[in-house]
Chain A
Amino acid sequence: MNPARRSFLKTTGALGALALAGRARPAAAESNTPTAAPPRGLPANWRTLRKLDAHNHVFGLAHRPNADWAEVERLVAAAGKLGIDKLYCSRPVTAGVMANIELVRESNDAVLAAMKRYPQRIGGYCFVQPGNGAAALDEIDRCVDAGMVGVKLYNQFKYSDPAVFPIAEKCIARRIVFLGHSAYLTDPRTLALQPKTSNALDFGALSRRYPELMLVLGHINGGGDWEWAIRALRDFPNVYLDTSGSVLEDDAIGRCVRELGHRRVLFATDSTMEGCVGKVLAADLSPEQREDIFWRNYQRLLDRRTA
């Protein structure tokens, strides 16, 4: 256990005691009084439950000389506070840009710099665009050889597009995860800005073609109709999903587990760190299911690289 985790546990214990003292009250005798049981609020050990964040980002250009590390440092500090052991990060080129390979490499260099500075806390995905052709495949090799665990694709191409197939084949060959930005957008204005965002059926099409691909539908709650996405994924048993996103709607996690099985569900935050830890804690799960979602399911994918 590292020193940061030890001091963190001390704080948690103190806060837990404070919370209990503040909330102690006699058992309910009338409808205006909260009932005493079952246990209320957060589980006492929530900070120390092991967690691997399967979808996060570093946003700055940390590899440049005299780079500002403040954002990465806040990310790492937040992970420590929330008991997230490791954050698997990428730095996609967004806003509809089809970037040249130099810009793509620079984005990945920023992630590699963060991995180097915080090797215990930050892992990496290689951002690539299928449109960069053979250079994209070379970039995957470069990044994986440097320690990254997967690729991250954004919305430059739909994943059912044949241009994506060489990337999928490279992932299979290197035994790495393919994490894809996703949404089923029902808002016409948002859809117009991201016309090539893949929805669950696009993931399904790719999975049908490559059933052995470790394919992860990114941020089930990242904006878009998540209920639609879950229903669509029922027909594609080889697609995993991650729990991240700024939408924290009740029962999203429970619905994933009931309809898809908890083994397909991977904890992630995509920068909404407190809220996304909270929704896995609040969901109706057994302790074993919660542990699987928080880290074990993702660890199983990572272990396949060396199997």
Chain B
Amino acid sequence: MIFDVNAHVGHYPFRSLRARTAAEVVALLDRHGIDRALVSSLHAVFYRDAHRGNEELWAEVQPWPKRLVPVATVNPKYAGWERDFATITGEWKARAVTLVPEHHGYTLDDESGRAALTKIEAAGVPLLLTQRLEDRRQRHAWDRAEDLTVASLFAAAKAFPTLRFILSNWAGLDGAKLADAGLRGRVLIDFARLQVVYREEVPKLIAALGVEALAFGSHLPFDYVAGSLIKLENLDFLSPADRERVAWRNAVRFLGLEEKQ
């Protein structure tokens, strides 16, 4: 069983993606032997009204409730976002919420960011933060988004001490500093941009934060998936039970989903 916590559905404005619809993403999961994925809407990143992207995503994943777990995107600068948030976390029972401050024009520590983080913390849902969708060295002229910084993450973690984070597509994470920021037990990190062998970033994070802090992630459909499958196989220094936790159990537990598989 593999649960991918770093996956997306939709068109991306700056590059053609081969899997765009939920059906195409499910086919991609099948091809790579991945059973389940936490999926965010790319449309919700780029629409002015992000919630329309959420509505599309929820409708699109409906045929695959056991395969695709949708993440809701919140834009705290948009009119009526609090009502949308209540719908997302209440009626829709979203398992995670994501903020994309670089694309929606705010920061995690300004008034909009703090308002969103306050709501998310109070709702008790994990906050998914994607450090970047693609490498800025190849950016389109209209793509002005910078990578989220570790400093902004730490500031949010300290200001909202019970907020839980899913860190998706991050690199440059230091386990000791994450622990110092109070994130031990509050964070789930996917290894799409981290290495198991050679740079050994994944083993170092496991040593600092415990095996419960790591999860399988591939950044599909942007990236080739097989590198993440290799990383999972390279976790052979873990017990089979711990490897299974990284493969799927940590994700299921963090998201409050049914553990029985």
Contact = CB atoms under 8 A, between A and B. Distances in A.
Interface of A: 11-12, 15, 18-19, 22-23, 31-35, 38, 40-42, 46, 74-75, 77-78, 81-82, 183-187, 190, 223-227, 246-253, 271-279, 281-283
B83 interface: no
Interface in B212-226: 219-226
B187 interface: no
Interface of B: 1-2, 15, 17-18, 26, 29-33, 35, 63-67, 134-141, 193, 195-200, 219-231, 233-234, 236, 240, 244, 247
B217 to A, nearest CB: 12
Given A186-B140, A223-B137, A278 B230 contact: yes
29 contacts: A33-B66, A41-B33, A42-B226, A42-B230, A74-B199, A77-B197, A78-B197, A82-B230, A183-B137, A186-B138, A187-B136, A223-B135, A225-B138, A247-B138, A248-B224, A249-B15, A249-B134, A249-B223, A250-B222, A251-B18, A252-B224, A271-B198, A273-B198, A274-B196, A275-B195, A275-B223, A275-B224, A277-B227, A278-B230
B33 A40 contact: yes
A122 B141 CA distance: 40
List the 4 closest pairs (A to B, CB-CB), nearest first. Answer: A278-B227, A40-B33, A278-B226, A41-B33
Given A82-B197, A224-B138, A32 B230 contact: no
A185 B223 CA distance: 20
B204 to A, nearest CB: 12
Contacts of B244: 22
Contact of B200 (A41, A74, A272, A283): A74
Contacts of A283: 224
A78 B202 CA distance: 14
B63 A31 contact: yes
A224 B197 contact: no
A283 B223 CA distance: 11
Given A35-B30, A281-B226, A75 B233 contact: no
Contact of B197 (A12, A35, A81): A81
A258 B223 CA distance: 18
Given A250-B220, A250-B222, A271-B198, A190 B67 contact: no
B226 A32 contact: no
A247 B30 CA distance: 23
Nearest to B65: A32
A183 to B, nearest CB: 7
Contacts of B230: 42, 46, 82, 274, 277-278, 281
Given A42-B226, A274-B195, A34 B137 contact: no
A32 B62 CA distance: 10
A41 B32 contact: yes
Contacts of A81: 197, 234
B17 A250 contact: yes
Contacts of A227: 15
A23 B226 contact: no
Contacts of A11: 236
B197 A273 contact: yes
Given A74-B200, A227-B15, A250-B221, A34 B29 contact: yes
Contact of A279 (B67, B193, B226): B226
A275 B1 CA distance: 21
Given A81-B234, A186-B137, A22 B1 contact: yes
B226 A187 contact: no
Contact of A75 (B17, B26, B198): B198
Contacts of A187: 136-139
Given A31-B63, A74-B200, A249-B222, A279 B138 contact: no
Contacts of A251: 18
A44 to B, nearest CB: 11
A34 B33 contact: yes
A31 to B, nearest CB: 5
A19 B233 contact: yes
Contact of A273 (B141, B195, B233): B195
Residue with the greatest number of chain A CB neighbours at <10 A, chosen from B67, B193, B229, B240: B229
Contacts of A226: 138
Contacts of A35: 30
B170 to A, nearest CB: 13
Nearest to A227: B15
A230 to B, nearest CB: 12
Contact of B198 (A19, A34, A78, A224): A78
A74 B1 contact: no
Nearest to B223: A248
A186 B134 CA distance: 13
B174 to A, nearest CB: 18
A172 B45 CA distance: 51
B224 A190 contact: no
A282 B234 contact: no
B224 A18 contact: no
A109 B192 CA distance: 34
Nearest to A184: B138
